Amino acid sequence: YALHPELRMCGIAGIHHSDATRPVDRDALTRMATSLVHRGPDGEGFHVEPGVGLAHRRLSIIDLASGQQPLCNEDGSVWVTFNGEIFNYLELRDELKARGHVFRTQSDTETLVHAYEEYGLDFVEQLNGQFAFALWDSKQRRLVLARDRVGIRPLYHATLPDGTFLFGSECKALFAHGGVSARIDATAVAQIATLWVSVPPRTAFLGVEELPAGHLMVL
């Protein structure tokens, strides 16, 4: 499966609370990750702190030994959970190392946290690849979601009435949380039946949106 582009996929999911002191429901986050096990059969990982939880289901392609996710920068202030490939990560890695960044792995994922440190939100302009990821900046209490320009990698999200924000590689990850029901949006289904595609951010489910291709979302 390492050679087939349609099978090179991991699964990401997460929970973000508008109340930064509110603890994340670890069981709910685990359910969200488990719903994506078919996307990442090689392992799972979590990062949880007050107000935010990130999850990852891994399909091992690059740096099999030390590329586990979520992955952080040197001081643990920036975390990322990532699905996809950064095609120019070797060039980015060399540039960032020349600017003083220290890498602990050989994975393309680690270039994301260091590029964010170096370029801020403009770091996405440095990326050549197919990707969907969520990056957490604990110092600024900022969650950043991004999707590649063509929309090869999917990313869905929903906001609950209490301000809880959920995201995942598939809608089923949001349903697994328990706060989102799989209610059909009849208008969206008719749209899909007519055009053969959904029109982001609308999806076939009420209350669930898709981050459009080439978009950045900041909470």
Residues with catalytic function: 10
Taking the C-alpha atoms of residue 51 and residue 143, their distance in angstroms, rounded to an integer, is 11
Go through the chain and tell me how many residues it has: 219
**Closest among 176, 159, 145, 121 to 17, alpha carbons compared:** 159
Taking the C-alpha atoms of residue 168 and residue 179, their distance in angstroms, rounded to an integer, is 13
Q: Is the Cβ–Cβ distance between 24 and 52 less than 8 Å?
A: yes
Query: Pairing between strand 44-49 and 209-210?
Result: unpaired
Phi and psi of 213, rounded to 5°?
-60, 140
Number of helices and strands (H, E) in the chain? 5, 11
**DSSP-based three-state secondary structure for 184:** strand
